[in-house]
């Protein structure tokens, strides 16, 4: 019989702790880890020993896919150099720095095992960092860099870990073979992800029903991941690329009601999964740390050295690259030292590191010590950096007002949409030579979008109200389409961020769905009024 109690308790706990975190103002991921550690001490608490493959192949793909769908391809392309420096360069530098430091502290550890630990602790889990950064008012461009890093750094670290594990099993590192594996994992992941994204995009254009398209979206990240892994490429990278393709094409592929259904479904799924992965960290920490085969003497020294390396190498790498770029006349996209300092401190590690550590072969030298170092890095970065990141951002007094910038974007987008609608109205008035009264009414509807009482006005005017209602409905859909086209064009040109596009598109989807319902209600109301009139005409006594 399947044990559902642990899953049910886990989801309920995530909901409760998230609610408490919102009330007391603490970052939810950190509170979830603390709560998980606390629950693990309760006698009789369910034993959450999670298979690491479950995290990497079941929990990680939908989380990365959801983040990729909401990300901006345009912004990532514009900030690609900064993102690549973090998602690839930062991960590689951190991994090798940790490996060298670990061998300095404990020379008896083979380099392949040391590099495996470096690959495990190298990628920051930016889910928590991005959430804290948004709340603290970090500039949107910097948030985009953190989001881009979080999408691609897991792929880099997991591929490097695969190379290191091969070295552990073979007894020595084969750098030529490792470079070939790394190159194919990157190129193959990109190609497979693009193919899956384009095929899924084509499939959902040929159906208008919400349920099959939503079901397809739920299976797409797993399909991309499995195909990538079967091809010995990066399944994680395939998931990210597929999500970016589908997110970019969403305004062109999907009907409004489909987008509303998918948005609600994925928001709920993301809420549960993000909370679950951090809770699982806390629930497993104590059992790993107290494993009986951990050597007590070197543990504190080695763990402290690895944690310090992970924390320090990030600002060194970021400021070094920025300085070199300025000397070469190519300053970084992030700008001055203040946002660079904020990005340097946003390096919390999470469940991917924990799951990756548990995939180490049982024959790995000093495996228990490597697991303990991973736990130390996760706890140290989550507590030290996670709790202090909002304070650091406030103390840096970063220039600009992200909320004001978003408001300006919305206002500009609405202005351009209104101008396009007004131009279309005048085209219709001129082409159809409408009478002054109808032209005035059309301009008023286009400006106010007020459907309240429309059926009663149509009924009072007499004639075929249903025909006029259908015409007005088509006209209103055309206006919404004009707005959407303007917003998408601004997004594609880079003058509108993906975040604002999603907000405006959500409002349009709600408006269009409500419009269809009001038209259906109005049509039914008109039919009822006609039936009552016919009854009165047929009955001379009435």
The tens digit of pLDDT for each residue in 240-266 reads 999 999 999 988 888 888 888 888 899
Using pLDDT thresholds of 50, 70 and 90, give the confidence band for residue 292: very low
Going by pLDDT thresholds of 50, 70 and 90, the confidence category of residue 313 is very high
- pLDDT on residue 452: 46
Mean pLDDT of 141-167: 85
* Residue appearing with tokens 């840096």: 396
d(CA 233, CA 229): 6
Task: Please give the residue that has the higher pLDDT: either 46 or 313.
Answer: 313
CA angle 331, 337, 343 (to 5 degrees): 95
Q: How many CB atoms lie within 10 A of CB 135?
A: 13
Distance of alpha carbon 163 from alpha carbon 167, whole angstroms: 6
What does the pLDDT read at residue 49?
Answer: 66
Q: What is the C-alpha to C-alpha distance for residues 494 and 412, in angstroms, rounded to an integer?
A: 13
Give the residue among 226, 225, 224, 220 at the shortest CA–CA distance from 265: 220
Q: What pLDDT is recorded for position 218? A: 93
User: Residue 157 is encoded by which pair of tokens?
Assistant: 């670290």
| pTM, entire model | 0.82
Percent of residues, the chain, with pLDDT higher than 90? 16
Is the pLDDT confidence value at 493 over 80? yes
Q: And the tokens for 269?
A: 């799924």
b/e 177-187 (16+ beta carbons within 10 angstroms → b): ebeebbeebbe
- CA dist 13 and 159 (Å) reads 33
Average confidence (pLDDT) over 509-533 = 59
What is the chain's mean pLDDT, rounded?
79
Q: Which domains does the chain have, with CATH numbers?
A: 5-400 (1.20.1530.20), 404-537 (no CATH)
Q: What is the pLDDT of residue 148?
A: 84
Q: What are phi and psi of 27, to 5 degrees?
A: -60, 130
Pick 25 or 264 by higher pLDDT. Answer: 264
pLDDT at 526: 44
- Rounded to an integer, the average pLDDT of 419-440 is 77
Label residue 257 left, alpha or beta by phi (over 0 means left) and psi (-120 to 50 means alpha). alpha
Higher pLDDT, 232 or 336: 232
Residues with Cβ < 8 Å from 124, sequence gap 6 or more? 149, 150, 153, 314, 346, 347, 348, 349, 350, 381
pLDDT value, residue 195: 95
Within 13 A of 148's CA, how many CA atoms are on the CB side? 25
CA distances to 115, 245, 289, 310, 469 from 369, in Å: 14, 41, 9, 17, 73
Of 35-39, 325-329, 365-369, least confident by mean pLDDT is 325-329
> What is the model's pLDDT at position 92?
93
Where do we find the tokens 């552990």? 168
SS3 203: helix
* Whole-angstrom distance, CA of residue 277 vs CA of residue 262: 22
Helix (H, G, I), strand (E, B) or coil at 106: coil
What H or E segment, with its residue span, contains residue 76? helix 73-78
Backbone angle region of 44, left / alpha / beta, with phi > 0 → left and psi within -120 to 50 → alpha: left
* Helix boundaries (H) for 106-174: 111-121, 126-136, 140-170
Alpha helices in 206-255 (DSSP H): 210-230, 235-253
**What local confidence, expressed as pLDDT, does residue 44 receive?**
67
Q: Is 19 exposed, middle or buried (0-12, 13-18, 19+ CB in 10 A)?
A: exposed
- Maximum mean pLDDT: which of 54-58, 94-98, 475-479, 488-492: 94-98
- Look at residues 183, 230, 191 and name the one whose alpha carbon lies nearest to residue 57: 230
What's the pLDDT tens digit per position in 456-478? 444 444 445 555 556 666 677 77
- Return d(Cα 236, Cα 221) in angstroms, integer: 9
Residue 288 has pLDDT above 80, yes or no: no
Provide the pLDDT for residue 456.
45
Asked if pLDDT for residue 293 goes beyond 60, the answer is no
Question: In the prediction, which pLDDT does 307 show?
Answer: 93
CB 89 within 8 Å of CB 148:
no
Q: Is the pLDDT of residue 525 over 50?
A: no
What would the two tokens of residue 477 be? Answer: 């859909």
Confidence of residue 119 (pLDDT cuts 50, 70, 90): very high
pLDDT at 500 > cutoff 80: yes
Distance (Å, whole) CA 37 – CA 337: 37
Pairwise CA distance, residues 159 & 95, whole Å = 12
CA pair distance 61, 193, nearest whole angstrom: 12
Q: Which of 211, 198, 202 lies closest to 244 in space, CA to CA?
A: 198
The two three-digit tokens of residue 485, written as one number = 């086209």
Structure tokens at 279: 């809770």
Neighbour-count burial of 438, counting CB atoms closer than 10 A to its CB (0-12 exposed, 13-18 middle, 19+ buried): exposed
What is the mean pLDDT of the segment spanning 57-80? 86
């Amino acid at each position: 019989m399947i044990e559902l109690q642990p899953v049910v308790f886990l989801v309920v706990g995530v909901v409760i702790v998230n609610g408490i975190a919102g009330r007391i103002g603490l970052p939810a991921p950190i509170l979830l880890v603390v709560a998980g550690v606390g629950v693990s001490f309760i006698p009789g608490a369910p034993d959450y020993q999670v298979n690491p493959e479950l995290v990497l192949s079941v929990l990680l793909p939908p989380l990365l896919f959801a983040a990729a769908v909401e990300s901006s391809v345009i912004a990532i392309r514009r900030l690609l150099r900064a993102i690549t420096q973090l998602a690839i360069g930062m991960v590689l530098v951190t991994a090798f720095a940790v490996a060298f430091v670990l061998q300095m502290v404990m020379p008896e550890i083979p380099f392949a095992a040391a590099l495996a630990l470096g690959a495990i602790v190298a990628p920051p889990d930016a889910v928590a960092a991005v959430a804290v950064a948004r709340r603290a008012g970090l500039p949107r461009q910097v948030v985009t860099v953190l989001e881009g890093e979080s999408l691609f750094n897991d792929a880099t670290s997991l591929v490097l870990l695969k190379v290191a594990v091969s070295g552990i099993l073979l007894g020595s590192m084969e750098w030529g073979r490792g470079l070939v594996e790394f190159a194919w994992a990157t190129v193959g992941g990109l190609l497979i992800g693009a193919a899956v994204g384009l095929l899924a995009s084509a499939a959902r254009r040929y159906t208008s029903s919400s349920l099959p398209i939503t079901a397809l979206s739920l299976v797409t990240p797993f399909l991309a991941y499995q195909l990538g892994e079967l091809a010995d490429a990066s399944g994680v990278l395939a998931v990210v690329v597929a999500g970016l393709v589908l997110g970019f094409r969403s305004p062109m592929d999907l009907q409004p009601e489909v987008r509303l259904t998918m948005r609600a479904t994925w928001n709920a799924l993301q809420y549960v999964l993000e909370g679950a992965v951090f809770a699982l960290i806390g629930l497993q920490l104590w059992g790993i740390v107290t494993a009986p085969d951990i050597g007590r003497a070197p543990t504190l020294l080695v763990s402290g050295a690895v944690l310090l390396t992970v924390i320090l190498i990030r600002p060194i790498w970021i400021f070094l690259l920025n300085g070199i770029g300025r000397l070469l006349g190519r300053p970084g996209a992030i700008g001055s030292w203040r946002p660079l300092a904020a990005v340097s401190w946003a390096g919390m590690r999470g469940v991917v590191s924990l799951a990756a550590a548990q995939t180490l072969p049982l024959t790995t030298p000093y495996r228990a010590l490597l697991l303990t170092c991973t736990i130390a890095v996760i706890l140290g970065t989550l507590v030290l950096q996670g709790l202090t990141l909002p304070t650091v951002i406030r103390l840096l007094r970063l220039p600009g007002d992200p909320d004001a910038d978003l408001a300006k974007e919305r206002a500009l987008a609405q202005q351009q949409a209104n101008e396009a609608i007004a131009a279309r109205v005048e085209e219709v008035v001129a082409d159809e030579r409408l009478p002054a009264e109808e032209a005035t009414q059309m301009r008023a509807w286009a400006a106010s979008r007020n459907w309240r009482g429309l059926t009663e006005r149509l009924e009072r005017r007499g004639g075929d109200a249903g025909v006029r209602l259908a015409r007005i409905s088509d006209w209103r859909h055309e206006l919404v389409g004009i707005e959407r086209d303007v917003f998408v064009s601004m997004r594609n040109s880079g003058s509108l961020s993906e975040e604002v596009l999603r907000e405006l598109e959500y409002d349009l989807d709600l408006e269009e769905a409500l419009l269809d319902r009001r038209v259906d209600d109005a049509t039914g109301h008109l039919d009822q009024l006609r039936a009552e009139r016919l009854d009165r005409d047929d009955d001379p006594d009435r």
